């Protein structure tokens, strides 16, 4: 039972001042084992804050991040799953499933986490699953207006992943989930 927080596109301080208070009250240290951040924090104070929640933090480069030393992509293995991270502004057309699927095959991961569109999505294709946690602060993007703040918490338990989706809609936190299993045979490309 490993809890992995996935979030990104906070755009602090340029487009948002902070995470929503209701999110912050839920995100307490000691519960989460890993944090995956798609990028566009944008300042190091945000990185420091995330580190207080969990020391194992993985960040990829967003186009507005002030720190330019984050990698473009990153992969890590958690339990039975290989995860890949990429901000997504590099993948054209933005948010296009087929293009992202190509990236996923390149990285050879089961779950690809990307951002940039500020819109939560979760897709499945033969190569695996692509998840976009949206913008944790609800910052506007060039692609999407009217953004609801959202983030994702994955519970990786053996061959099963439960993806909990946290969204702030009209001031209330709504949570639902997506359940999927990985078959024991490796996915064919």
Partner 1 sequence: MKKVPDWLNSSLWSSVASPSDRISPYDSKSTTAAAPHPATEPPAPVLPPSVVREEPPEPEPVSPSNDRGDDEKVRPERPSAEDISRQSLLLAELSKKVINIGELRRITSQGLPDGSGIRSAVWKLLLGYLPPDRGLWLSELAKKRLQYQNFKTELLMNPSEITRKMDKSTVSGNDEMKSTSGELSRSDLTGGEHPLSLGETSVWNKFFQETEIIEQIDRDVKRTHPDMHFFSGDSLDAKANQEALKTVLTIFAKLNPGIRYVQGMNEILAPLYYVFRNDPNEGYAASAEADSFFCFVELLSGFRDNFCKQLDNSVVGIRSTITRLSEMLKQHDEELWRHLEITTKVNPQFYAFRWITLLLTQEFNFADSLHIWDALLSDPEGPQETVLRVCCAMLILVRRRLLAGDFTSNLRLLQNYPSTNIAHLLYVANKLRSTP
- What are φ and ψ of residue 28, in 5° steps? -110, 150
Q: What angle do CA 161, 167, 170 make, to 5 degrees?
A: 160
Determine if 25 is a binding residue for partner 1 (CB under 8 A).
Answer: yes
Least distance CB 90 / partner 1 (angstroms): 22
Q: Which one of residues 24, 31, 44, 51 is an interface residue with partner 1 (CB under 8 A)? A: 31
Nearest to 110 by CA among 97, 94, 126, 121: 126
Binding mask 73-112 for partner 1 (x = CB under 8 A): ------------------------x------------x--
Q: What is the maximum alpha-carbon separation in the chain?
A: 45
Region from 9-17, 24-32, 35-43, 58-66 binding partner 1, contact rule CB under 8 A: 24-32
Least distance CB 41 / partner 1 (angstroms): 21
Region from 9-17, 26-34, 38-46, 70-78 binding partner 1, contact rule CB under 8 A: 26-34
CB 187 within 8 A of CB 110: yes
Region from 39-47, 61-69, 120-128, 142-150 binding partner 1, contact rule CB under 8 A: 120-128
Distances (CA, A) of 127 to 19, 123, 173, 187: 33, 11, 32, 6
Match 């946690």 to its residue by tokens: 133
Which run of H or E residues covers position 107? helix 97-107
Question: What does the binding site for partner 1 look like in residue numbers (CB under 8 A)?
Answer: 1, 3, 25-27, 30-31, 97, 110, 121-126, 128-129, 153, 155, 157, 160, 162-166, 175-183, 187
């Amino acid at each position: 039972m490993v809890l992995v927080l996935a979030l990104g596109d906070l755009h602090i301080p340029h487009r948002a001042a902070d995470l929503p208070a209701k999110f912050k009250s839920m995100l307490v240290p000691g519960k989460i084992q890993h944090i995956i951040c798609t990028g566009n924090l944008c300042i190091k104070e945000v990185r420091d804050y995330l580190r207080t929640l969990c020391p194992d933090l993985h960040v990829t480069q967003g186009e507005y991040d002030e720190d330019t030393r984050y990698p473009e992509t990153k992969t890590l293995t958690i339990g039975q799953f290989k995860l890949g991270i990429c901000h997504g502004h590099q993948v054209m057309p933005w948010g296009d499933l087929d293009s992202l699927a190509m990236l996923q095959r390149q990285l050879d991961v089961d779950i690809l986490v990307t951002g940039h569109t500020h819109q939560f999505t979760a897709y499945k294709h033969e190569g695996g699953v692509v998840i976009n946690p949206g913008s944790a602060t609800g910052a506007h993007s060039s692609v999407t207006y009217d953004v609801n703040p959202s983030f994702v918490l994955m519970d990786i338990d053996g061959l099963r992943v439960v993806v909990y989706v946290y969204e702030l809609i009209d001031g209330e936190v709504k949570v639902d989930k997506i359940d999927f299993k990985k078959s024991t045979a490796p996915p064919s490309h």
